[in-house]
Structure 1
Amino acid sequence: MNPVTVPDAEWFDLAPEGGEGARPWRIFLARPPGEAPAAGFPAVFVLDANAGFATFAEVMRRGAVRPAATGIAPTAIVGIGYPEGDDHRVRRTFDYTAGPGAEAARTGQARATGGRDAFLAFIERTLKPRIAGMLPLDPARQALFGHSLAGWLVLDAALRGGAGFRSHVAVSPSVWWDEARLVDGLALARGRPVRLSILVGEWEQALAPWQASRPEAAEMAARRARRAMVDGARDFAARAAHELGPQARVAFELMAGEDHASILPAAMARALRFALAE
């Protein structure tokens, strides 16, 4: 069989500058079609890219065919993932957190946490310059996109900084992981022109109809109720809009019919529109 490839896309592994012996990240790049604007292309940096990069690239490419109709212009899609052979769950738990989560004591989770600062520094100091050397990017139109635990990191980065993005899109963010830190971050961000989009699926706090008959339904329902993903995202968005003030733009959307996994493709188009809006 002949493999299918993503048009105008490539990948390479990249380690931090000066990080002797540091493990690299796998970087995916989808080049936008056409000539770059005078200021350079906008860019969306996508976390967990091993799973979502190809879909995001196709959403951009399809939308960019008719930007006046879709609100999606040619945009560089920069995915950040991990090489084959790495334990992605272990590495993402470290990269996307500032410390242990709220459920660590209850579950006895042994994964390392706390890599947030080093990960965001890698994006700002190593990855962004590398991508800017490969195609012209507009530094004033760059966005960070993350889902689930990566969504928690996006919220934290929006409030505390660390990677110089104009817009932040958090899809199904795990607010429960460390809500206290996010709330503390609101005070740090007050008065800044934060641009934050928070999206969550209708069926992330309760069982979807098609899940009710699964053998693990009771366990799933208990976990979803405990984590309260919908309430957590909605309440945090409302609090952020109130506390950050009129300089900020905070958008919230409850996406009908979607659960924690199915929300991603639909959220990608919305993320591009949010990132590209003036």
Structure 2
Amino acid sequence: MNKEKEPKPNNISMQGLRVQPYIHPNGTLQQLPQIIIIGVRKGGTRALIEMLSLHSAVAAAQNEVHFFDWESHFQRGLPWYLSQMPYSFPEQLTVEKTPAYFTSSKVPKRIHRMNPDIKLLLILRDPTERVLSDYTQVFYNRLQKHKHYQPIESLLVKDGEINLGYKALNRSLYYRHMQNWLQFFPLESIHVVDGDELIRDPLPEMKKVERFLKLEPQINTSNFYFNKTKGFYCLRDHGRERCLHDSKGRAHPHVAPAVLHKLHLFFHEPNKKFFELVGRTFNWK
């Protein structure tokens, strides 16, 4: 990071409440995040925060905090939110990720009240692929708990038409949720990461993230290696290698071609609206 832009210890206020951080004897402290990965669910948020953590100027919260979308957490206030953050040095940037933020209508206003200058990262995938990943996660969760699950076609289609009551479809209507965020934040404060490209070739996407966050270029080709067994890139950090959890990259269920075609047609117009909102296009079907 450029020295002249190093952030001061973060004691942002909300509704007049000032949060004073406890400074550890080694000089580290917990800071409210200057970066939040706001979504989207099954878009690649875990991969993004793991890759961003490769940068020495970034300290990442380990768990999804759900402060701004869960009332039980939000009512605890900023001191509780601060307590969920990692210890970091004053010059480091703190990041948390909660994918549910993007689709929660109340979250943009709440984050804006905490810090209107915060940097937001939004990682998206082809909306059809995201729906299938969403279903796959729920399917495996129910399978592990020996619970009943519905075939994906019965959820996607009802009476021969796309089932608008299926929540996973709503999460992929990106333009609706983006409109809500743009009521509170300028587009310049939100960087959209191409989740499909991050899977295929992570380095170019991470270089864009570094530039958006005004971080010194640090993440490079030596930080990634392709794991042929898993079929995707894993990370290498100071000689230590790690891959994402086995739950990532699961095979999607087979979907009848006619149903897939319906999905692609359904998302065509919503995708166009999203492209217009953000001023760029993505290689979605």
Normalised TM-score (structure 2): 0.37
Answer with 1 or 2: which has the greater Rg: 2
Q: Which has the higher relative contact order, 1 or 2, with Cα contacts under 8 A spaced 6 or more apart?
A: 2
Q: TM-score, normalised by structure 1?
A: 0.37
